[in-house]
Structure 1
Amino acid sequence: MPEYLKKGDTVGILATARKIDLATLEPGIKLLESWGLKVVIGKTIGKEQNQLAGADWQRATDFQEMLDNPNIKAIWAAKGGYGTVRIVDRIDFTNFKKKPKWIVGFSDVTVLHSHINNMDIGTLHAIMAISAKTATPEAVESFRKALFGEKLEYHIPAHPFNKNGKAQGELVGGNLSVLYSIQGSKSAVDMKGKILFLEDLDEYLYHIDRMMINLKRNGSLDGVKGIIIGGMTSMNDNDIPWGKDALEIIQDVVKDLKIPVAYNFPAGHIKDNRALILGKNVTFEVNDKETILKFE
């Protein structure tokens, strides 16, 4: 795990994917400052090349500079979208491996979570800077606790689809579409023996089925100790309906796995996006009453 933050530490905010302006980030900047942290704004904020926050080399350079800056203790993604995968192979992680720092975000940032997990370094799946204004107080507080190394533990009401059981292992995962897109690359995370978290946004229902079937057929789900399903938000359907919603699709694919599975966990593209420390060992329990997730 990277070192947890303390008051007076500096957090860098940048864009690895979609463009964003500085004014939109003001609530996020004020949030960090209210916790006694200093903020450095990346050169990508305000830049644009069509959808992206500047050219690939500009976004990679901004990320590299913050990664190598010893005064910056955490890098907070401004927003997601698409584009992080275009720069990850340009990044030199040599100094980062010697002195890791927190990489924070979700959605498209899953590329970095997964890539860095293969270095045996933890990352923080949590709200992004753009989310600070709309996130629930619970999501914001969980982000603060994770960042400062305070106790992190969740008790979530049971969902009818849940499969009861208990497991311990390293937590990995993130956005399903992104994880699917990096299968077969050096950024693909090894899920064997892990607790797998999945969430997604704005996908066609048959795409959810396609991606889950792929994970099952390619062996990614073999040996997974447990599965946590977060928000499956704003899904789309065709004129001829697929016939199942996202949770029903996932339930159908994983029903034969003899492991605990929890649905509707508050993380992902939802306002109540609770922080998850990826790469950290967790105790995961699903019973008739609740889902319990404890970070060791």
Structure 2
Amino acid sequence: MTLSLTELSALRPLGEGPHTVALIAPAGAVLPERIEATCVLLEQMGYIPRLMDNARARHRYLAGTVEQRLADFHAAFHLPDVAAVWCLRGGYGCAQLIDHIDWARLPNVPLIGYSDISVLLSAFHAHDRRTIHAPVATELALLEQANGAEAEARSAAMASIAPALRGDGGHMNATHVAGPAVDLSGPLIGGNLTTLASVAGTSGALHVPEDAIVMLEDVGERLYRLERSLCQLLDSLEPGRLNAVCLGSFTDCDTGDSSVEAMMQEWLAPHDIALYHRLPFGHGAHNQAWPVGSMARLSSDGLEWRAR
């Protein structure tokens, strides 16, 4: 599917206006053609993309050294009239930045991303700054490669970013699997399971407020690795602080004859933590935006978060 200029301008994932959007690569190296395509599409949507100086850098599999990525990170938030800082991709590397972020001089500009960016989203939440768990910027290019239902899902995922940035309330369908089947409320946290488990016990560990609703997703992992990550994550925090776990997509995960839900249920049951699944977020076409830290309610009607 090739999107027309009219269709692109109507999508507008960052909302109305000629917004300046800062593009950073805080983790894995980004293919040059993906960067160029993303900037072109943003311009066609009516935005002003500002690619940070080191976004094309490469250091091993990373988007530059820690110093290069950190310089871009800080500079992005200080651009004049910047509406949001949008990560180009995930991969690996965000945890290397955590101890070097100068929070005192970081304006409260929203950060957008997911996957390895989960580490930054949690750190921003801990410092009372706005973050949106949503598709990375280079996934704009996938819109032109998608067709049919996939194209519709990817367009809807991109379009869901704007209301999240505005601070609107939102809703996701969610199906109860196990644990307490009662209405629950709490702040939304979480992201990529493997990434969050990898920083357990470090300065970048998942920030877990009381009564948290934990959103989890993953990609390309065997079931035993997902179980290892879940156990690591649960052992690193106080399970009593969790109200529920909500599962998004576990894309291309080899689970054999078992299921992610069954494995999760086994480890959550002793803590009386509710488990929900089939939420439309994660790696894949269905990746609806949700605001990290927002107060939300889980019920038979699904997951609903409040306007900010």
TM-score range, shorter chain: 0.7 to 0.9
Q: CA deviation at 1:62?
A: 0.9
Equivalent residue letter for 1:20: V
Deviation string 1:118-150 (CA, Å, 9 cap, x unpaired) is: 11222110000121233622211111221234x
Q: CA deviation at 1:234?
A: 1.4
Pairing partner for 1:122 from 130, 136, 140? 130
Q: Give matches, 1:106-255, under 5 Å.
A: 106-134=114-142, 136-149=154-167, 151-156=168-173, 158=175, 164-188=181-205, 189-236=207-254, 244-255=258-269
* More displaced 10-residue stretch of structure 1: 48-57 or 272-281: 48-57
Please report the TM-score for the alignment, with normalisation by the length of structure 2: 0.83
CA distance in 2, matches of 1:74, 1:118: 19
Contact 2:196–2:233 (CA under 8 A) maintained in structure 1? no
Pairing partner for 1:18 from 28, 53, 67? 28
Counterparts in 2 of 1:31 and 1:259: CA distance versus 1, 3 Å: farther
Higher fraction of helix? 2
Aligned pairs, how many? Answer: 283
Q: CA deviation at 1:63?
A: 0.9
CA distance in 1, matches of 2:175, 2:122: 28
Report the 3-state secondary structure (helix = DSSP H, G, I; strand = E; otherwise coil) of the residue aligned with 1:133. Answer: helix
Gaps in structure 2 of 5+ consecutive residues: 1-13, 144-153
CA distance in 1, matches of 2:137, 2:228: 31
Report the 3-state secondary structure (helix = DSSP H, G, I; strand = E; otherwise coil) of the residue aligned with 2:216. Answer: strand
Counterparts in 2 of 1:226 and 1:160: CA distance versus 1, 3 Å: closer
Match of 1:105 in 2: 113
Q: CA deviation at 1:30?
A: 4.8
CA distance in 1, matches of 2:288, 2:275: 18
CA distance in 2, matches of 1:216, 1:190: 11
Gaps in structure 1 of 5+ consecutive residues: none
Equivalent residue letter for 2:217: E
**Superposition RMSD in Å:** 2.4
Please report the TM-score for the alignment, with normalisation by the length of structure 1: 0.86
User: Is 1:268 aligned to 2:278, yes or no?
Assistant: no
Report the 3-state secondary structure (helix = DSSP H, G, I; strand = E; otherwise coil) of the residue aligned with 1:225. Answer: strand
